Amino acid sequence: MPDQSIQAARTPGAPPAEPASGAGGVSRRALLGTAGATGLVLGAAGGAVGYAAAPAGATPLTSVGSGRAMFHGKHQPGITEGLQACGHLVAFDLAAGAGRKEAAALLRRWSATAERLMAGEAAPHDDTCVARDAGPSSLTVTFGFGHGFFGRTGLEKQRPAALDPLPDFSSDQLDRSRSDGDLWVQIGANDALVAFHALRALQKDAGSAARVRWQMNGFNRSPGATAHPMTARNLMGQIDGTRNPRPADADFDQRIFVPASGQPAWMANGSYAVVRRIRMLLDDWEKLSLSAQEQVIGRRKADGAPLSGGSETTPMDLEKTDAKGDLAVPLTAHARITRPDRNGGAAMLRRPFSYHDGIDRDGTPDAGLLFVCWQADPLRGFVPVQRKLDRGDALSKFIRHEASGLFAVPGGAAKGEYVGQRLLEG
């Protein structure tokens, strides 16, 4: 788990105008919100057939429900937005006999559904009403293509070299049935019902064209749970993500996104997502003393400051020693090993979810991190860092990589386009 995780705040897009009364119903924006909430609703307008209007004078949605991410844009949503409270990762395999034509139709359906749901509207057809009373809740839906997709659709010549399979790592204990996949969908929202609603709608949209290969559920701290914005904590209790690249960085786009002039052309403004299910061996971790945990990570547990001193954002002094002459930040500390300046400048944008899938029969929690990282090229981002971790990260004895995937995520769809159109119709 490299020492990087996103905390960039997102400014919601300005909402479009409300439709006239009777023009296909009303949107969730007009529905009854949380009692006691105040402020202007920022959710999206749009037809939501079958959704009832709120009575006059109803209290508007809270800020959590009204937040909206935009579907159309230079990049797909779900990459640079801040951490969301809940999410689903799901991979599909194309069905036997399904090819390029069926894949194009599927991506067209998925894009139409994602656009409506992210605007706070009902699904295009057979809406389940699960999210009937909610606003958009910052819903994002992101689509990607796996290595096998290109062979199944006859598009092998369009497969990017950066999508070559990841190398094996010593910490891997991968379940192949929960790894890879032809298509990948990332769903995130700040309301669990909104996220589930999107998952169910997209699964239904797959129809006979694709079947679910694997699906994982995750969560983060809810917005507003702390007195002020903070870097997230993981299930080990550590502040996780202090050195994540930020959109304001001068080289952010260069590190995270494929340039507009990049190859293949259909990946312009896209990115590559590495997905890893990393189980945390919490019983072993929690037996360590506080001091021992901090030595493993290289940062103080209370505030995320480096063991060399200062605050969370203070640059780590890798040469500083303590009174005994020992390095303040041990050579095997996770935070030392993952520093970009110790990995040839390798950097990735981490945007993970924690997960908890129950208790094993022996009482061991099946819990950890759904690691999702973004980069312009995984061979220059994830791979060199993970190889370095393989060679001596003190954290490695407390985690286990159990599933893995690498996906090419094309740039955002322009208005009137669907995601992947330049690949499938180019």
Stronger pLDDT, 64 or 36, i.e. the higher one: 64
Instruction: Give the model's pLDDT for residue 346.
Output: 87
Instruction: Give the model's pLDDT for residue 44.
Output: 34
Taking the C-alpha atoms of residue 66 and residue 204, their distance in angstroms, rounded to an integer, is 26
Taking the C-alpha atoms of residue 98 and residue 94, their distance in angstroms, rounded to an integer, is 6
Contact 62, 33 (CB under 8 A): yes
Q: Does 8 fall in a domain?
A: no
Active site residue 362: no
Collapsing DSSP to helix, strand or coil, 292 comes out as helix
Tell me how many domains the chain contains: 1
Q: pLDDT per residue over 287-334, tens digit each?
A: 999 999 999 999 999 999 999 999 999 999 999 999 999 999 999 999
Q: Count the Cβ atoms, other than its own, within 10 Å of residue 228.
A: 4
Question: Which residues make Cβ contacts (< 8 Å) with residue 369, sequence separation at least 6?
Answer: 1, 234, 235, 276, 277, 278, 280, 352, 353, 354, 355
Q: pLDDT per residue over 264-285, tens digit each?
A: 999 999 999 999 999 999 999 9
Is the pLDDT at 416 greater than 80? The verdict is yes
| Annotated catalytic residue within 93, 127, 240, 253 | 240
Taking the C-alpha atoms of residue 204 and residue 93, their distance in angstroms, rounded to an integer, is 14
Is the pLDDT at 364 greater than 60? The verdict is yes
Residue of 30, 132, 76, 95 lying closest to 417 (CA atoms): 76
Question: Across-strand partners of 368?
Answer: 279, 355
Range of the domain at 272: 32-424
Is the pLDDT at 13 greater than 50? The verdict is no
Q: Does 191 fall in a domain?
A: yes
Q: What confidence tier does 3 reach under pLDDT thresholds 50, 70, 90? A: low
Q: Does 12 fall in a domain?
A: no
Q: What are phi and psi of 206, to 5 degrees?
A: -60, -30
Collapsing DSSP to helix, strand or coil, 132 comes out as coil
Q: pLDDT per residue over 77-89, tens digit each?
A: 999 999 999 999 9
Instruction: Give the model's pLDDT for residue 60.
Output: 63
Mean pLDDT of 236-257: 94
Instruction: Give the model's pLDDT for residue 237.
Output: 97
Q: Does 92 fall in a domain?
A: yes
Q: pLDDT per residue over 337-359, tens digit each?
A: 998 787 888 889 999 999 999 99
Mean pLDDT of 378-383: 96
Residue of 130, 411, 394 lying closest to 265 (CA atoms): 411
Q: What confidence tier does 1 reach under pLDDT thresholds 50, 70, 90? A: low
Q: Does 3 fall in a domain?
A: no
Is the pLDDT at 37 greater than 80? The verdict is no
Return the minimum-mean-pLDDT range out of 39-43, 111-115, 249-253: 39-43
Is the pLDDT at 14 greater than 90? The verdict is no
Q: Does 27 fall in a domain?
A: no
Is the pLDDT at 19 greater than 90? The verdict is no
Is the pLDDT at 75 greater than 80? The verdict is yes
Instruction: Give the model's pLDDT for residue 59.
Output: 54
Residue of 209, 23, 6, 203 lying closest to 117 (CA atoms): 203
Instruction: Give the model's pLDDT for residue 35.
Output: 34
